[in-house]
């Protein structure tokens, strides 16, 4: 059974919130690709819609949107997700994971795309807790 952390970003104020999901809530994310929408009820945000923006596996390999499926693949990159070159023209072979959320996924990044109120209030968090 899948279990992972979902990091929810609130684009209105730039804050992020982490929620551990497992069981039925985690199953809502399985098989979804980067860019797809998911009901926010899985992370305690009833009435919200989340868009999957990325993620990583248990070893920290990033999910990359241009790699199909959920398998591991080695790519020769000159920048973008997974590699930041230190000098102009540098390329490096990097191991990345595909764009689909699977059992191997440890973290899913998502952002709120439609909201009526602040995410902090919906999750029961306030600025005093930080």
CA atoms within 13 A on the CB side of 119: 26
Question: Tell me, what's the pLDDT at 129?
Answer: 46
Residue 10 tokens read as 């609130």
Distance of CA 33 to the CA centre of its chain: 10
Mean pLDDT in order along the chain per 10 residues (130 residues): 88 88 91 94 88 95 94 94 92 96 95 76 61
Question: Tell me, what's the pLDDT at 2?
Answer: 79
Its domain, for residue 27, covers: 3-129
Q: What is the CA radius of gyration of the chain?
A: 16
Question: Tell me, what's the pLDDT at 130?
Answer: 46
Query: Per the structure, how many domains does the chain have?
Result: 1
* Model confidence, pTM: 0.86
H or E element that contains 97: strand 92-97
End-to-end CA distance of the chain: 32
In this structure, the dihedral spanned by the alpha carbons of residues 2, 44, 12 and 66, taken in order and rounded to 10 degrees, is: 20
Question: Tell me, what's the pLDDT at 10?
Answer: 87
């Amino acid at each position: 059974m899948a279990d992972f952390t979902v990091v929810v970003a609130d684009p209105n104020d730039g804050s992020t919130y982490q929620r551990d999901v497992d069981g039925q809530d985690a199953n809502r994310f399985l098989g979804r690709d980067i860019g797809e929408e998911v009901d926010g009820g899985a992370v305690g945000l009833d009435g919200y819609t989340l868009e999957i923006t990325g993620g990583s596996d248990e070893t920290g390999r990033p999910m990359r949107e241009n790699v199909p499926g959920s398998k591991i693949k080695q790519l020769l990159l000159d920048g973008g997700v997974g590699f930041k070159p230190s000098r102009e023209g540098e390329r490096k072979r990097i191991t990345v994971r595909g764009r689909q959320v699977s059992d191997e996924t440890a973290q899913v990044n998502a952002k709120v795309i439609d909201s009526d109120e602040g995410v902090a209030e919906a999750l029961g968090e306030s600025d005093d807790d930080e």
